[in-house]
């Protein structure tokens, strides 16, 4: 479990004097006592009876901070050129103030924090937002039948849902919409449409901007002709930022329904993003193969029609 230090990155020791001490070693020793890398901490002030340190990272592990006062003083006390009074103490504000907690208090804080983090994680994971995409939907030329279906299916599966609106046919604008949803604490972010091969399809690219390692399996592949098809084919995407999942589903209604149902099943099964992406894509791919065997029509890459 990691905590954000925000702006409170300084701690200091009172009851300490240095004589010929190597400040680099002093900082390194403090860092090791807090289970950080040697260059994560630096000495920023030395005065009679006081040494101040600054943590050069924003995120810290809770267990490396809580109740570590005795360990810091012990390790520094063994360092050449460092003299500690019997009354030496560590002070700080914010999260780093938890360094000075006693063993029992520290254990209680860690236990309670882990419980709270688990509760928050569970609550976030069950908050879902669904976006439509495409200029046709914005202009009202095509009815968005996907979002109502997906919202209802998620609610029946126990999610608290919200319709996020319609994303523009623009990778940066779409990515900004997804990023805003992440910042608002949604644990499941779904888009429909914009996954095809046309030059206006950007849902995959938007997710990849937020998670460069997103899983993006192909559904259909073909050679780009640069008149209509500017990309190699049709994909879906599953990305992850922290505990939040981002999923780009196709626009055709039957594919969106199939993808949504697979998504819910895969999340229940605890699949990771690569497994989940392939579980969704596999079903849609099979559908297209069956349609083509029966002489089905070509895929409409980003339509929302029912």
Contacting residues for 285 by C-beta, under 8 A, at least 6 apart = 218, 219, 220
Question: Quick one: which of 152, 143, 261 has its CA closest to 193?
Answer: 143
pLDDT for 112: 67
Please report, for the chain, the start and end positions of each structural domain, with discontinuous segments joined by +.
2-119, 126-293
**Class of domain 2-119 as given by CATH:** alpha beta
Contacting residues for 280 by C-beta, under 8 A, at least 6 apart = 236, 238, 247, 249, 259, 262, 263, 266
Distance CA 250, CA 263 (A): 13
Crossing angle of the two packed helices 203-210 and 171-183, in degrees rounded to 10: 50
pLDDT for 18: 94
CA–CA distances in Å: residue 64 to residues 53, 90, 109, 216: 16, 15, 13, 37
Fold of 126-293: Molybdenum Cofactor Biosythetic Enzyme; Chain A (3.40.980)
44, containing H or E segment: strand 41-47
Distance CA 195, CA 299 (A): 12
Which backbone phi and psi does 160 adopt, to 5 degrees? -95, 120
Which backbone phi and psi does 83 adopt, to 5 degrees? -120, 125
Task: Give yes or no on whether 2-119 and 126-293 have one common fold.
Answer: no
- Average pLDDT of adjacent 10-residue blocks, the chain of 306 residues: 62 93 95 92 94 87 77 93 93 68 59 61 85 64 82 95 88 90 92 69 86 91 58 83 92 92 95 95 88 60 38
pLDDT for 306: 31
């Amino acid at each position: 479990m990691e905590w954000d230090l925000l702006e409170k990155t300084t701690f200091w020791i009172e009851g300490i004097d240095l004589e010929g001490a190597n400040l680099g070693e002093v900082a390194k020793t403090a860092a090791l006592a807090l289970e950080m890398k040697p260059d994560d901490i630096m000495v920023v002030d030395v005065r009679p009876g006081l040494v101040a340190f600054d943590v050069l990272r924003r995120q810290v592990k809770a267990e490396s901070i809580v109740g570590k006062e005795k360990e810091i003083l012990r390790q520094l006390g063994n360092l050449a050129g460092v003299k500690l009074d019997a009354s030496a103490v560590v002070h700080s504000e914010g999260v780093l103030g938890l360094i000075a907690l006693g063993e029992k208090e520290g254990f209680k804080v860690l236990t309670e924090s882990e419980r709270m983090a688990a509760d928050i994680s569970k609550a976030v994971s069950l908050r879902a937002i669904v976006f439509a995409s495409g200029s046709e939907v914005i202009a009202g030329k095509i009815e968005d039948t996907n979002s109502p279906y997906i919202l209802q299916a998620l609610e029946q599966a126990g999610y608290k849902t919200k319709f996020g609106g319609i994303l523009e046919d623009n990778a940066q604008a779409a990515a900004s919409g997804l990023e805003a949803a992440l910042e608002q604490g949604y644990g499941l972010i779904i888009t429909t449409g914009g996954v095809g091969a046309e030059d206006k399809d950007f849902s995959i690219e938007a997710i990849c901007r937020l998670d460069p390692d997103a899983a993006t399996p192909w559904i259909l592949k073909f050679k780009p002709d640069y008149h209509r098809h500017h990309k190699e084919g049709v994909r879906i995407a599953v990305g992850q930022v922290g505990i939040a999942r981002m999923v780009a589903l196709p626009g055709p209604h039957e594919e969106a329904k199939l993808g949504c149902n697979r998504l819910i099943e895969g999340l229940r099964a605890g699949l990771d993003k690569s497994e989940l992406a392939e579980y969704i894509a596999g079903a849609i791919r099979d559908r297209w193969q069956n349609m083509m065997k029966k002489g089905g029509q070509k895929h409409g890459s980003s339509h929302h029609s029912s």
